[in-house]
Amino acid sequence: MKTYQDQWVKGKLVEKGMRECAGRYEIVKSFCKQFRRPFTVCDIGANMCYFGLRLTEDFPKCYVVAFEFDKFDVRAVHVQKNNPSRLLFLKRKLSLNDLSVLNAIGHFDLILALSVLHHVGNKFDAWLMALRNLGDNVIAEFATDDSRSRRQSPDYRIPSDAQILGYCESHINKQIQRPIVLLPGNPQ
Ligand SMILES: C[S@@+](CC[C@H](N)C(=O)[O-])C[C@H]1O[C@@H](n2cnc3c(N)ncnc32)[C@H](O)[C@@H]1O
């Protein structure tokens, strides 16, 4: 199957996906360079786990939990080819209640919500608050070109406190660059 993300195996790109990934990863990696200690990442809607695989390769003290539900079995086979030791790839379509359970259990240095917040129906504001509560920092990518963002969620917007980290090309319309932003979370 043609995947959304590039497929990454043990330090190499093995198959291009529909979506530009390397440039987006550089933005996330640059942010993570500030951590001088072990750090934790929660990737929501991890797809082929491109970001978790690369982060755990590049940062020996990085620990990732990544959630995905769609075509999970085939994606899990791909992730396993990397034999990752600091990455949990878990099958779950996360709900708001799941986020509050996760929040009661632990807290992350970084939440990744890349091109996923237009999938949360009309609960955008509640999701955003839950993600901020779950981590010190949230990096979110906004699908400003995707009509689903308008159809599903009237409140879908880039929050006013967002700091733009960069832009990357949309796969739907190559003229459009999706913003990737840093949102302050709620440090514990
Ligand atoms: C547009 S893709 C983005 C993938 C990846 N975050 C990226 O930016 O490269 C959205 C992904 O999120 C997954 N997803 C959507 N809602 C989710 C949820 N509630 N819990 C877990 N995964 C979800 C979808 O199955 C899909 O793989």
How far apart CA 54 and CA 49 sit, in angstroms, is 9
Q: Quick one: what percent of the chain has pLDDT higher than 70?
A: 96
Q: Give the pLDDT band (50/70/90) at residue 150.
A: low
Q: Domain of 22? A: 7-184
Residue 18 lies in a domain: yes
Residue 1 lies in a domain: no
Residue 171 lies in a domain: yes
| C-alpha triplet 33, 180, 41: angle, nearest 5° | 45
Residue 104 lies in a domain: yes
Flag the least confident range among 51-65, 95-109, 128-142, 163-177.
163-177
Q: Give the pLDDT band (50/70/90) at residue 187.
A: confident
Where do we find the tokens 């917040």?
117
Q: How many CA atoms lie within 13 A of 121 on its CB side?
A: 5
Taking the centre of ligand 1 as the mean of its atom positions, its distance from the CA of residue 19, in whole angstroms, is 13
Q: What's the CATH number where 48 sits?
A: 3.40.50.150
For residue 176, the model assigns a pLDDT of 87
Helices (H), 65-184: 72-80, 96-105, 124-134, 147-152
Cβ of 56: how many Cβ atoms within 10 Å? 21
The mean pLDDT of 168-176, rounded to a whole number, is: 87
Is the Cβ atom of 115 under 6 angstroms away from ligand 1? yes
Taking Cα atoms as reference points, which of 60, 39, 64 lies closest to residue 50? 64
pTM: 0.97
Flag the least confident range among 30-39, 78-87, 124-133, 171-180.
171-180
Tell me which amino acid residue 178 is: R
How far apart CA 135 and CA 168 sit, in angstroms, is 24
Residue 61 lies in a domain: yes
For residue 188, the model assigns a pLDDT of 83
Is the Cβ atom of 180 under 6 angstroms away from ligand 1? no
Residue 164 lies in a domain: yes
Is the Cβ atom of 47 under 6 angstroms away from ligand 1? yes
Higher-scoring residue by pLDDT: 177, 73:
73
Q: Give tens-digit pLDDT for 21-66.
A: 999 999 999 999 999 999 999 999 999 999 999 999 999 999 999 9
The protein residue with its alpha carbon nearest to ligand 1, atom 13, reads 45
Residue 180 lies in a domain: yes
Q: Give tens-digit pLDDT for 72-91.
A: 999 999 999 999 999 999 99
Where do we find the tokens 């001088």?
36
For residue 54, the model assigns a pLDDT of 98
Best of 74, 100, 110, 119 for a ligand 1 pocket test (most atoms within 8 Å of beta carbon):
119
Number of folded domains in the chain? 1
Residue 2 lies in a domain: no
Per-position DSSP letters for 33-83, written without gaps between them: TT--S-EEEEEES-TTTHHHHHHHHH-TTEEEEEEE-TTHHHHHHHHHTT-
How far apart CA 68 and CA 178 sit, in angstroms, is 21
For residue 182, the model assigns a pLDDT of 98
